[in-house]
Amino acid sequence: MTVATDLRKVTQAVQETVDDMRLNAVSLAGLISMELPERTMLLAPWLPSSGLAMVYAPRGLGKTWFAMGAAYACASGGEFLGWEAPEPIPVLYIDGEMPAVALQERFVSIVQSAPYQAPPDNLQILTPDLQKRGMPDLASLEGQLAIEPFTDPAKLIVVDNIATLCRSGKENEGESWMGVQEWALRMRAQGKTVLFVHHSGKGGQQRGTSRREDVLDTVIALRYPKGEEDTQGAKFEMHFEKNRGFYGDDARSREIELHSAPDGRISWAYQSLQDSTYKRVVSLLNEGLTQVEIARELDINKSNVNRHAKKAEREGLYTKPKAPKREAKQ
């Protein structure tokens, strides 16, 4: 290979880089007239195609179960927690920390419990125990290039989780997130959706810089049920903290619980958080707690407790104790 050949290749590579970096402006009329791909839902209403989302929670609360359930529903064209996937799509699940045997056990439970089966190749999994050199750092260009062969066919990419897979820089500095954000935006531009899984910090919010949320369509927070911080297993409140493009009943908070059967099958139970709070207020009222004590126990306003108490009286679920009669003065 001659020096001239090497020089031509270098020049060509530089020109391709320059071409890739060239900006492209479009007029308003041009934008309006463009035939752009319609934005559909991978999992209605909160996970759009060409979208970016995040779910975060304290350690051990159930965020990986949540992400795996959503991933399998999209891969199979099924449903998860009442959210429907209109058709099966290719999904890449990138796991950063679970032992392969634990990941296997969870997916076996999900597959055995689902009334629908995903096409064999629709759900691809990258996990640490099956790699010779560990998992790539998605905050680096090298790490992003390493997973490119797997992201190319995928329509949904699940990154579980940010702490273990995006390791460069400092977690609480916005600049450290920029490399990951640029990669996520490139994935979106290619028609792909990225769902990030993350930890919450001591204050309850997502850990580290809040700049992660700037470009996201959806942010879901999973929290301990109020008054049940010692809950065992996957039982949590689900709150939409950012919901671009949906609202009303679709964006209502929920209480969600994962049930496991002796044979390994799983099932999810869910209800609106308002219904759950009402039932718990009624139960505590019938146990003899005062409204002030219930408000403190459930960390809600006393006015909400009073409203639930009046509803329970109307529905015959609670009878307010009669105040003792005062003795007449002699």
Q: Which residue reads 């007029």 in tokens?
A: 27
Give yes or no for a contact between 122 and 88, defined as CB atoms under 8 angstroms apart. Answer: yes
Cis peptide before 45 (omega within 30 of 0): yes
Q: Based on the number of CB atoms within 10 Å of its own CB, is 265 exposed (0-12), middle (13-18) or buried (19 or more)?
A: middle
In tens digits, the chain (330 residues) has pLDDT values of: 565 666 565 566 555 555 666 778 888 888 888 887 777 999 999 999 999 999 999 998 999 999 999 999 999 999 999 999 999 999 999 999 999 999 999 999 999 999 888 888 999 999 999 999 999 999 999 999 999 999 999 999 999 999 999 998 776 676 889 999 999 999 999 999 999 999 998 888 888 888 889 999 999 999 998 766 555 558 899 999 999 989 998 999 999 999 999 998 999 999 988 766 777 777 777 777 787 777 777 777 777 777 777 777 777 776 777 766 665 555
Cis peptide before 24 (omega within 30 of 0): no
Q: What are 188's two structure tokens?
A: 């979106």
* Model pLDDT, residue 329: 56
* Model pLDDT, residue 197: 97
* Model pLDDT, residue 298: 75
DSSP letter string, 235-259: EEEEEEEEETT--GGGG--EEEEEE
* Model pLDDT, residue 290: 80
CA pair distance 305, 317, nearest whole angstrom: 14
Q: What are 189's two structure tokens?
A: 């531009």
Residue type, 120: P
* Model pLDDT, residue 165: 96
**Helix axes of 302-314 and 291-298: crossing angle, nearest 10 degrees:** 120
* Model pLDDT, residue 63: 95
Residue 110's φ and ψ, nearest 5 degrees, are: -65, -45
CA pair distance 217, 54, nearest whole angstrom: 9
* Model pLDDT, residue 222: 96
Closest CA to 212 of 201, 228, 226: 201
Q: How many CB atoms lie within 10 A of CB 36?
A: 7
Cis peptide before 161 (omega within 30 of 0): yes
pTM of the model: 0.79
Q: What are 98's two structure tokens?
A: 């679970």
* Model pLDDT, residue 127: 97
Give yes or no for a contact between 195 and 165, defined as CB atoms under 8 angstroms apart. Answer: no
Distance, CA of 314 to chain centre: 38
